[in-house]
Structure 1
């Protein structure tokens, strides 16, 4: 593993009497796609928001060791939403203007140049998600954090979102993605971190997990977090998450609605 660009060191986060994250150590290196998997309620969203700097840890520390940048970490919430009445280009022009970026460059980066003049309310769910990825990339952050970027998407668009994340890693970004889509995680991730009940169970490349635990990643996941019961939670997670709204984050200015997963 290369030197980590984002890292959590002994991080704990509590909400009142609830301990969402407990003593987690996680490194997210540049040039790799790190996938965070775990059953619903395991603390994935909390950990991602800690890494993105949207939450402060109750104990431990979160660090960034990458190059100097206008915006060090980009963040995509589970369901990005944008103000209606504006086109995709106008929407990105607002975010890009905050950090001196070019909206057309961002649209091209995620393959949305063809819908630049379409109003955001007319975009499909998958295209809206890619617009959220473009927003997260405004300011060229060296590290990006994507929370369930493929949740609820059709197979073609889900593949496209994962391909975009993998391409960012190949370009040298530090990329961390949470997902319940274990098949795509196994194909695209360089490293998988398994979280359960707020604790990090294991972190390793997919092939190493397969060799150590046996079978495909879905079987490794079941073994690591306690068997068949969590597989049902895994299967139901998208429906549960879909009921919880997010607001679109403004770089360095706006914080999405609290969602604890």
Structure 2
């Protein structure tokens, strides 16, 4: 097994009394597509920001690649690009920011935007904007790409295309971490699923292992059972009596 290219080690993070992670660890290797899933409000975006270096953990460490001009690319859920620029110009602009050249047309072909290179960004559909975000993430050839809900709000066919392009990023020996509520796409494409719930990594392994562990037929059903099981465990552990909150 190769050394992980990205890792949280005994990491903790909280917003006041709300614990997102409590001394949790997770590691990602090159060539892996890891899907981060969890209930709304579980802190998936915060975990992605910790991995990408946009936040520092309260304790523990984060290991990211060294000796790379751009070690980690982060794509937020709703990427925005400056109007008035074409798709090709936008990509060239970001290439200038990282201090290197880029074959914009090759990158756009890679994510399925080759025919839209001369289109202005304000004329792009939601799905095409997400694909431009994926292209921007490839600028500088970062060894790690972190994506927050890249298919949120898209219709199923467009969502499938964006997720296919996302999965393809890992085929260049790149580590890709993506949060998503599209559990059917995660089941079909992810190498591993990391379930975040109640301040903990509740599961970390291949989708088929979560299916086997929960006895579910689909990842959506497995997710529901895993989350419900944790809620039942939490209820059972709560103090009894009239003073329980």
In the aligned structure 2, how far is the partner of 1:105 from the partner of 1:2?
Answer: 30
In the aligned structure 2, how far is the partner of 1:112 from the partner of 1:118?
Answer: 10
Alignment partner for residue 226 of structure 1, among 211, 225, 228?
228
Structure 1 runs of 4+ off > 4 angstroms? none
Q: Deviations over 1:56-89 (max 9, x none)?
A: 111111102x463210111110010111111111
Q: Any gaps of 5 or more consecutive residues in structure 1?
A: 230-261
Matched, 1:77 2:76: yes
In the aligned structure 1, how far is the partner of 2:168 from the partner of 2:93?
Answer: 25
Larger Rg: 2
Deviation, 1:12, is 1.2
In the aligned structure 1, how far is the partner of 2:20 from the partner of 2:194?
Answer: 16
Which one has more relative contact order, counting CA pairs under 8 Å at least 6 apart?
1
Q: Show the 5 A alignment for 1:1-261.
A: 2-64=2-64, 66=65, 68-99=67-98, 100-102=100-102, 103-215=104-216, 216-226=218-228
Aligned to 2:242: none
Deviation, 1:104, is 2.5
In the aligned structure 1, how far is the partner of 2:59 from the partner of 2:163?
Answer: 32
Deviation, 1:173, is 0.6
In the aligned structure 2, how far is the partner of 1:76 from the partner of 1:164?
Answer: 14
Q: Any gaps of 5 or more consecutive residues in structure 2?
A: 232-245
- Give RMSD over aligned pairs: 1.7
Deviation, 1:106, is 2.3
Deviation, 1:179, is 0.3
Deviation, 1:19, is 2.5
Deviation, 1:155, is 1.3
TM-score normalised by L of structure 1: 0.83
* Alpha carbons of structure 1 residues 182 and 130: separation in structure 2 relative to 1, 3 Å: same
